[in-house]
């Protein structure tokens, strides 16, 4: 088994913020010890750009899906469309999808409809569902309970900032959780409190770059090279050594994204 130093489970390398220096960003990540990245699809219409980056690099993988902000772009998105794209060899997850009632960039009923399509695709494909949820705890909990009752699927609550009750409910349904740079923010004690209670064998690490740069990089464009700071904070919160953080989170990642062969 490869001894990975760091893995960034959620990057947006296709984002326009990286258009001027994408190759350099990838090289800086490698120099910082980031041995694997998963490039996350923000909308199906962007999939080709997302996948091209993964296809060009042995250490980058991809997902397919539509973020709740973009759900209005394709309210008639079908399970078949997702499944067809998910057949590509470097696609390892369905999403990022979910509910965001903070901004409501897409109507809530459309967000829910599109999210359910993603859940169906995750169930059918066996790939994990990468979930974004913000200020939508009740709806999210209800939808996941209904969809799980139709047939189980793997799921990841990425960059988790929602409440403890939804975290508990999702943990009981077998959810994995990812920890981002938010865990380092001074005002994020509530997030750290939830991280303390996450299932120890179902935690992975991410940056969500170019967003959410961790302290001490706060205020800068986030890059995958910053992910070691998140590893360090997770170890501090959970009382794990650096070796334990890597061992636990990497084992969890390969259990979740099992299309990746380490």
Domain borders along the chain are 6-256
> Residue 164 and residue 145: Cα distance in Å, rounded?
16
* CATH 3.30.70.270 holds for 6-256: no
Question: Mind listing the pLDDT tens digit of every residue in the chain (262 residues)?
Answer: 578 999 999 999 999 999 999 999 999 999 999 999 999 999 999 999 999 999 999 999 999 999 999 999 999 999 999 999 999 999 999 999 999 999 999 999 999 999 999 999 999 999 999 999 999 999 999 999 999 999 999 999 999 999 999 999 999 999 999 999 999 999 999 999 999 999 999 999 999 999 999 999 999 999 999 999 999 999 999 999 999 999 999 999 999 999 998 7
To the question of pTM greater than 0.85 for the whole model, the response is: yes
> Residue 31 and residue 53: Cα distance in Å, rounded?
18
For the chain, how many helices (H) and strands (E)?
Answer: 9, 8
Q: Give 81: exposed, middle or buried? Use CB within 10 Å, 0-12, 13-18, 19+.
A: middle
């Amino acid at each position: 088994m490869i001894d990975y130093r760091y893995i960034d489970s959620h990057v947006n390398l296709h984002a326009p913020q990286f258009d001027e220096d994408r190759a350099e960003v990838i090289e800086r990540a490698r120099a910082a010890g980031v041995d694997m990245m998963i490039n996350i699809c923000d909308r199906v219409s962007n999939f080709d750009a997302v996948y091209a980056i993964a296809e060009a690099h042995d250490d980058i993988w991809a997902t397919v899906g539509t973020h709740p902000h973009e759900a209005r772009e394709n309210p008639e998105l079908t399970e078949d469309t997702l499944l067809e794209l998910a057949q590509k060899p470097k696609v390892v997850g369905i999403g990022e999808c979910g509910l965001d009632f903070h901004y409501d960039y897409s109507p809530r009923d459309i967000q829910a409809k599109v999210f359910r399509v993603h859940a169906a695709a995750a169930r059918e494909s066996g790939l994990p569902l990468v979930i974004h949820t913000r200020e939508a705890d009740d709806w999210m909990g209800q939808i996941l309970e209904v969809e799980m009752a139709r047939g189980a699927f793997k799921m990841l609550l990425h960059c988790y900032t929602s409440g403890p009750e939804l975290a508990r409910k999702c943990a009981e349904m077998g959810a994995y959780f990812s920890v981002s740079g938010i865990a380092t923010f001074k005002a994020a004690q509530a997030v750290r409190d939830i991280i303390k209670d996450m299932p120890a064998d179902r935690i992975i690490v991410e940056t969500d770059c170019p967003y959410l740069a961790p302290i001490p990089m706060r205020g800068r464009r986030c890059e995958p090279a910053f992910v070691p700071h998140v590893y360090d904070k997770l170890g501090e919160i959970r009382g794990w050594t650096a070796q334990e953080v890597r061992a636990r989170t990497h084992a969890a990642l390969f259990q979740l994204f099992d299309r990746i062969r380490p």
